[in-house]
Structure 1
Amino acid sequence: MSPWNQSARCQRRRKTFARNNTIESCEQRVLLSGSPMIEIANIDGTGNNLINPELGSVGEQLLRLTTPEYSDGISSLAGDERASAREVSNAVVSQTESITNDRHLTDYIWIWGQFIDHDIDLTDGGELGEQANIAVPTGDPYFDPDGSGTELIELTRSQFDETTGTDSGNPRQQTNSITAFLDGSVIYGSDEERAAALRTFSGGKLKTSDGDLLPFNEEGLPNAGGTSSSLFLAGDVRANENIALTSMQTLWVREHNRIADELAQQHPDWNDEEIYQQARSIVRAELQAITYNEFLPALLGQGAIDDYSGYDASVNPGIANVFSTAAYRLGHSLLSPELLRLNSDGSVADEGSIALQNAFFRPDQLVATGIDSLLQGAGAQLAQELDNFVIDDVRNFLFGPPGSGGFDLASLNIQRGRDHGLADYNQTRVDFGLSAVTSFEEISSNPDVVAALMSVYDSVDEIDVWVGMLAEDHVSGSSVGELMQVVLVDQFTRLRDGDRFWYQNLLGGQALKRVEQTTLADVIERNSNVENLQSNVFYDPSVLYFKVPDNGQQYSLHVRVDRGDVEIMDRFSRRVLASQSAETVEQIIIVGRDGQQDRIFIDNSVNQKQVADGVVAWGGHGVGDSLSVSGTNRNDRIEIQSDQVEVNGQSLKYAGFEKLNVLGGRGNDRISAGGRELNVTLNIYGGHGNDHIVGSAGNDQLFGQKGNDRIFGLAGNDRIEGGSGNDFLSGGEGHDRIKGGPGNDRIQQDDRKPAKKNHPKPNIDRVGSVVPSNDNVMNYDTKNKEKKCQTTSSQQPSSQMLERFEKLGAAMLKNLFQHT
């Protein structure tokens, strides 16, 4: 593990929370039952919606949000004229070398992703035994090495609602075998029999085995991998699939029991059932908070999902077929070929790391070594890139070698989409309100990916939706493409808004704050011997991640490099809130709060340091957030775009801010928004030097300050001030206010016709001067292409006036730092 120094304050916060945190019974804003305790959700998901009690419950149909494309319009596999799923897998999905992701996401991104996937959807194989076998291309090096041309990868079609699939007006609909809600069913089960088998019925706790591991399946309940008592038993049948997943399952059983112990201590009058149900409710809330506060922002980018506005009984929280069968199978691309097992000091554990292909259905590995080294290693290793490639461990060796249980997970995903009659990639785009693509090049900018797609698909209208989603170029600031993001945002928004037991709908006061502040790192460290984790384990230790505390206080953050450390300091209290050795920082991520005014200033020392992967800043949902970015004392080139500012090539990605302040510093700077449309109010301060400043398409404030500057407002109603020096100032289109300042300035206006009838005043600029100067004002007549010049003053400014102006400029800059 790389050397990494989290600030002492952040370490203290986690250790103090783990040591002193007391669990309160869940508070409700409005008590639903009149009981002093929260209303308890049914284990099978029924009754969550009081109007439609079955919504989101076990056995409900997967939602058909896209056009069904069964080949016969009723139930036969879609894409009967497409290349076989294995052929597509070989051509498009085969990965020959490790490709780690470029956003510093760790293995926790797929471990947590799989864990919550097993909480919200499961489609069993159908009882009718219908086959959807996958044809293997002749001579396939893994599945047909002898070139027989007769090999098949066997696959059974999914379970479906047998009242469907009768005609084209009633096509086949698959069902969800577990609850759709993010409710902890992965831990507790979705039926009473399994839930009971997992409980001790003493002190509200769940069963464990030696080593505080999961209990073994001594009840012989259904389990992926068989009913053997050598396999662990958990709320979901897939808990043994790989030992990283099993470790996460184990962690949350421990968290439940930890909470149960504290509740029992605080409430000695509570019985087993009361403790169990309250602990279950708190765990449910923590799962929800971590997923929406950490996991989804890491995967989709900050702000992808709108703020929570309350429970909506009209929202169906059910799982969409295209989500579970295509979009959310994105994690298969993220899988690492090796599971890293580390000690807390970063050294490799005695048991060594383990290849993923050797980690399937191996509870013996955890019995021998426990879960700590896996949890430590997952936070230190980068996941693979989310792209159209999948590692061999699951593409050729899933559950064993070919011919001995081996399977191709990519082929399964493609064939399962056809089994479910999913719409093709282009039709899915249209169904979700996006425009259809007309060429393969519109999907990916990578010519190799385009060539691979073209080798197996004759048209963009034939692409299997899972393949097309993975092949897409990523949305800026995200690890997913456009269509995948739309599908994921839809699903996770409905899961939240359609859940009456959503934690923000039920909790209030300190209970809500404690849940909101809980991170996955907290849960790991208080239930294991794992230490020194980064504050957000979804990003690797080279990321300095800081989330502004939501504690009602005002913060004005100053990000700087000081004495070899990157520091995030509060300008109000002058306290350092987070720091990390500058040598280990490759990216800085700052997350603001929703509904509060956050002010963030990126110091010129950060831009001089040239952080390898730049800065990411999210202001949060709300109004009044401001971001200030400072150039260096050299000649800077600063480009301002709608989602990022580049300072001498270093990227600062931003979103969620209402005001953007760009400061040039000393030097002859070129600062340009290029007339682009921005979603912020832009203020540019040139500073010392002869600067070249170009505004955006909006209403900007552009200040040259000291030096001979050239300022172009372009579109919008701009305020332009040259400052001291001989400046050239051009307002461009719009109602501009232009002041020259001390010096011999040239001011260019435009003299356009008056606007429409309801605008009696001509659309012209107002020109003034802070102090008398030799200003040459040019009224530029766009119709006659003539310059009409006039001199506004011939009086030279006195030295006292110049000094006064410089003080005024310094005061403006100081005011900016204090109040933006």
Structure 2
Amino acid sequence: MARFWHRWIGRPQFAKRSRRKRSTTRRRLKPEALEARQLLAANIFHNELMPEDVNEDGEISALDALTIINRMSRQSQRDSVEGGVPQQRGPGQMTDVNNDGQDSALDALMVINRMSRQRDDLESSTQRPDPRDRLDPPADRPTDLPTSDLADEVRSIDGTGNNRENPEFGATDTELLRIAENDYADGISEPAGEDRPSAREISNALSTATAAGNTSERHLSSFVFAWGQFLDHDISLSLEPENAEDAVSFDIEVPAGDPLFDPFGTGEQTIQLTRSLIADGTGTSTENPAEQANSITAWVDGSQVYGSDQETSDALREFIGGRLLVTDDGLLPTDENGDLLAGDLRAAENVVLTSMHAIFVREHNRLADEIAAENPDLSDEQIFQEARRRVIAEMQSITYNEYLPALLGEDALSDYTGYDSSVNPSIANEFSTAAFRFGHSTLNDEYRLVGNDGEDVDEPISLANAFFVPELLEETGIDSFLKYASSTQSQEIDLGVVNSLRNFLFGPPGAGGFDLVSLNIQRGRDHGLADYNATREAYGLDRVESFADITRNEEIAEKLESLYGDVNNIDLWVGLLAEDHTEAGSLGETATTIIAEQFERLRDGDRFYYENTMGDREIRQIENTTLAEIIERNTNLDSLQANVFFFAPQITGTVVAESATAQPSQATEPVSSGDPDSPRKGLQGDPPRPGQPQSGQESQSAEEGVVAAEGILVELVDSDGNIIDSVLTDVNGNYAFDSVTQSGSYQVRVAESDEWDVAGAGTWDLSISNGDEDMHRINFRVLV
């Protein structure tokens, strides 16, 4: 089981390293059947199948180019008559081939390029063209084609050919980059950290989580792990040897007397780990140290949905109407062995991840059906590739416009300035083996099953019981798990990791199991990652001089010093998770730098990145399609907050006091939760909103004898009757709760007091359905 655990979780300039080409001996890829990879997907809503056929005579010829040139000439004359101001047009004109709203030389060039490609295809019509021809044009053809020419291309399944000068950039089975120098014990391949404590000892000392947990201070929802894991499985996978004879053990020593892994004090227990495969030809000398390989494409290209090799991709398709295979219930199908059919082999790791896979298969098929209905003459391949193109664009937009800003802060990444062919997008070892494994810290110890109204519909499932059980979704469906992820705060990103991940047992204590914290630390040593301080320096950051420089938490700093002794010897994953967070984000400086640098390279080095290939109108359409919208249009959910990466409901109100001798206020009837002004139910005594006191003093409001009540204790109670938060009213009688960590039913009440008579204050019963809830005017009246 452990072998399949995911690799979660101004750009600095680094010295370029020579890269070896990927090995082709481990996997034979089938040629892509992409109809010469000219799918004519661009402008299929503008001018049907052949946007270059300007005069619509069924042929693409010099007449089409001439028509555009004549149109430009007439437009130029009109512009001169109208004062030299070019007249902008909306897209849709036949001469506007690239659909950018104007006639230009680019439109004529597209016609000429299309004619050239037709001639090339005719000359080679007796043999199916090599699919890479469209990505690597012959030497006598220009390589600096305008962006619009990308419309005639599609991404290769295995990631090759994106970069024309370096076709292997981002492809499957290429080496991971190494930003910092390796820390192998022998400088070649022997694991690092031989002088450090056991990874399990470090885990026990630093990562034990409390039963109550520690939820996100910035109100991140559980989608921070759901999307993080789904995204990680799109860009990174380091495998272990398939054959037992090739496997090299690197087991983790368990401290004697470990209560869960060595309860009988034998001192001989271990947690099993097999070393990762190293790239062919590496690990032969200090000049040629071992490097690990990424077995999937590095690009954010939906490979977890579509696969990273042609055989996998073909196995996922219906080959009718451009659709992907899906069950009648909208779930991932299985193969003859009962394994899920998905683009990534880790799709069954947990039910939330499997639900994410199902959502994007549904989204692909929804788009395919829409495209087919609007363009009945398109082939299966054309529909499939157009739907794939849009799904990838949606995934990229969600990653860069929702997920990364939520995680790192709005300004963590530099602005996009266009495609840069000099950028190598390959995944950095520091990123995949350490920084992007932050996500293990964010998981809660159980998955709730949540209905559309935010209420639990069944008993929660222990995280430990949610691994590798995709069949559970046949009973529950995916809606309740996706609603859970949006309606529950994640755990804080820190060294603490819940029990289900840190003490997963295969039986009673001592029967074996795994500790994901220990495995993260040990995997970093297996890959020869440099220590925390050396990595900071390699990424252009100042080295820390003391443990207190890493964290203001004195207890953590003392434990780090006790374990490592030397600030220059800390395991990278440990140092990253121990860091104080940046002001704008939920990670420390080093982790933020590593993650931002990686995603900048994945964006800037991607010739097919959506902002580099789409027009303004389509970009706006893609960027207006949020993850919440994709989920809602592919499920029965309709109550998600606009940004599912945050869950931050608010409850606010005011407490007023009146004299016991004053005329009693009139109590109101209970108010329905459907009342737009008061989204609550079961009210007892609905008081009026008080006026504003003067100069911070208790003063009379607009209602005679009523004043703001300062210092009143207001309590927030969950559905089990537990007080989860309490707060004193301020000088104006106001209070606020922002401590609701999950959707569901709550009660707000005034606490008993010796100073105030609260017997008639009543209570408010509230129902929180999503993270955008703003429960205001939850007011109370007490007697002096």
1:169 corresponds to: 287
Which residue of structure 1 lines up, in the alignment, with residue 256 of structure 2? 138
Query: In the alignment, does 2:383 pair up with 1:278?
Result: no
Deviation at 1:390, TM superposition (A): 0.7
Rounded to whole Å, the distance in 2 between the matches of 1:308 and 1:415 is 36
Q: Does the C-alpha gap of structure 1 residues 460 and 543 become closer, same or farther in structure 2, counting only changes over 3 Å?
A: farther
How big is the shift at 1:399? 7.2
CA contact (8 A) 2:262 2:509 kept: no
Q: 2:594 aligned with 1:479, yes or no?
A: no
Q: Deviations 1:345-399 (Å, cap 9, x if unpaired)?
A: 12211x3321111100111210111001111111110100000111110111177
Among 549, 554, 561, the residue aligned to 1:454: 561
Which residue of structure 2 aligns with residue 182 of structure 1?
300
Deviations 1:445-465 (A, max 9, x none): 111111221221111111100
Q: In the superposition, relative to structure 1, how do residues 240 and 401 fare at CA in structure 2: closer, same or farther (>3 Å)? A: farther
Distance of aligned partners of 1:402 and 1:159 in 2 relative to their CA distance in 1, 3 Å threshold: farther
Aligned with 1:269: secondary structure?
coil
2:352 to 244, 251, 268: 244
- Partner Cα distance (2:508, 2:171) in 1: 37
Distance, in Å, in 1 between the alignment partners of 2:485 and 2:648 is 11
SS at match of 1:340: strand
Q: Which amino acid is the alignment partner of residue 555 of structure 2?
A: D
- 1:28–1:408 CA distance, 2 compared to 1 (3 A): farther
The alignment of Structure 1 onto Structure 2 pairs a total of residues equal to 533
| SS at structure 2 position matched to 1:377 | helix
Letter matched to residue 71 of structure 1 = A
Q: Distance in 2 between matches of 1:362 and 1:529?
A: 23
1:508 aligns with 2:623: no
Give the equivalent residue in structure 2 for 1:800. Answer: none
Alignment of 1:740-759 (within 5 A): none
Q: 1:360, 1:399 within 8 Å by CA — same for their partners in 2? A: no
Q: Do the aligned partners of 1:260 and 1:275 also contact (CA within 8 Å) in 2?
A: yes
Per-residue displacement from partner, 1:296-348 (whole Å, max 9, x unpaired)? 00000111111110000000000000000000000000011111211111221
Conserved? CA contact 2:230–2:304, under 8 Å? yes
1:549-698 residue pairs with structure 2 within 5 A? none
Partner in structure 2 of residue 572 of structure 1: none
2:327 aligned partner, one-letter code:
S
- Residues 1:99 and 2:214 aligned together: yes
Instruction: Tell me what 2:522 maps to.
Output: 415
Letter in 2 for 1:258: R
Question: Which residue of structure 1 aligns with residue 272 of structure 2?
Answer: 154
Q: How far did 1:583 drift?
A: 9.4
Cα offsets for 1:210-260 (capped at 9, x unmatched):
311001122xxxxxxxxx41x322100000000000000100000000000
Higher relative contact order (CA 8 A, sep 6+): 2
Match of 2:552 in 1: 445
Cα distance, 1:493 vs structure 2:
0.3
Match for residue 628 of structure 2 among 518, 521, 526: 521
CA offsets, 1:162-196, max 9 Å, x none?
31111111110000000000000010000011101
The answer on whether the counterparts of 2:351 and 2:469 sit within 8 Å (CA) in structure 1 is yes
Q: 1:180/1:535 Cα in 2 relative to 1: closer, same or farther (>3 Å)?
A: same
Deviation at 1:161, TM superposition (A): 1.0
CA distance in 1, matches of 2:274, 2:335: 25
Contact preservation (8 Å) 1:160, 1:174: yes
For residues 178 and 403 of structure 1, do their structure 2 counterparts lie closer, same or farther at Cα, with a shift above 3 Å needed? farther
Question: What residue number does 1:46 align with?
Answer: 160
Does 2:221 align with 1:114? no
Alpha-carbon RMSD: 3.1
Contact 2:650 2:736 in 1 (8 A): no
Tell me the residue number matched to 1:124: 239
Q: Displacement of 1:38 after TM fit?
A: 4.5
Contact map agreement 2:261 2:511 (CA 8 A) in 1: no
Q: Determine if the alignment matches structure 1 residue 202 to structure 2 residue 320.
A: yes
* Partner secondary structure for residue 352 of structure 1: strand
The 1:167–1:484 alpha-carbon spacing in structure 2 relative to 1, beyond 3 Å, is same
Q: State the AA in 2 paired with 1:213.
A: L
Which residue type is aligned with residue 645 of structure 2?
Answer: F
Percent of aligned pairs sharing the same letter = 50
- 1:742 maps to which residue? none
**1:92 Cα offset (Å):** 1.1
Q: Residue 353 of structure 1: SS of its match in structure 2?
A: strand
Cα pair 1:357 1:399 within 8 Å, conserved: no
Counterparts of 1:444 and 1:289 in 2: how far apart (Å)? 33
C-alpha distance in 2 between matches for 1:126 and 1:412: 17
Looking at structure 2, the residues matched to 113 and 160 of structure 1 have their Cα atoms a distance apart, in angstroms, of 25
Q: Tell me which amino acid in the other structure corresponds to 1:491.
A: Q
Residue in 2 that maps onto 1:302: 410
The structure 2 residue matched to 1:489, chosen from 572, 583, 596, is 596
Partner in structure 2 of residue 86 of structure 1:
200
Q: 1:352 aligns with which of 454, 459, 463?
A: 459
How far is the alpha carbon of 1:199 from its aligned partner?
A: 0.3
In structure 1, distance between residues paired with 2:606 and 2:628: 26
Secondary structure at 1:112's aligned position in 2? helix
Residue equivalent to 2:25: none
Residues 257-299 of structure 1 show CA distances to partners (whole Å, capped at 9, x for unaligned) of: 0000000011111000000011000000000000100000000
1:373 is aligned to 2:480: yes
Structure 2 partner of 1:192? 310
* C-alpha separation in 2, matches of 1:23 and 1:137: 64
Following superposition of structure 1 onto structure 2, how do residues 307-386 of structure 1 map, counting pairs within 5 Å?
A: 307-349=415-457, 351-386=458-493
Task: Select which of 533, 543, 547 maps to 1:426.
Answer: 533
Aligned-partner Cα distance in 2 for 1:273–1:156: 41
Structure 1 residues 82 and 515, CA gap change in structure 2 (3 angstroms): same
CA distance in 1, matches of 2:354, 2:424: 31
Asked if the contact 2:262/2:269 (under 8 Å) is kept, the reply is yes
What is the aligned partner in structure 2 of residue 75 from structure 1? 189
User: Which runs of no fewer than 5 residues in structure 1 stay unpaired?
Assistant: 1-21, 219-227, 545-559, 563-579, 585-603, 611-633, 636-647, 652-820
Distance (whole Å) between structure 2 residues aligned to residue 543 and residue 209 of structure 1: 40
Would the alpha carbon gap of residues 36 and 424 (structure 1) be closer, same or farther in structure 2, given more than 3 Å must change? closer
Instruction: Determine if the alignment matches structure 1 residue 257 to structure 2 residue 257.
Output: no
1:59 is the counterpart of 2:59: no
Which aligned runs of 4 or more in structure 1 are off by greater than 2 angstroms?
A: 22-38, 398-406, 580-584, 648-651
Q: Secondary structure at the match of 1:450?
A: helix
For residues 25 and 486 of structure 1, do their structure 2 counterparts lie closer, same or farther at Cα, with a shift above 3 Å needed?
Answer: farther
CA 1:70–1:24: 2 relative to 1, 3 Å: farther
How far the C-alpha of 1:405 sits from its partner, in A, is 6.0
TM-score (norm 2): 0.65
CA contact (8 A) 1:135 1:152 kept: yes
The 8 Å contact of residues 25 and 37 in structure 1, kept in 2 or not, is answered as no
1:383 maps to a residue whose letter is S
Q: Which residue identity does 1:188 align to in structure 2?
A: Y
* Cα separation, 1, equivalents of 2:351 and 2:411: 32
Q: Give the structure with the larger strand fraction.
A: 1
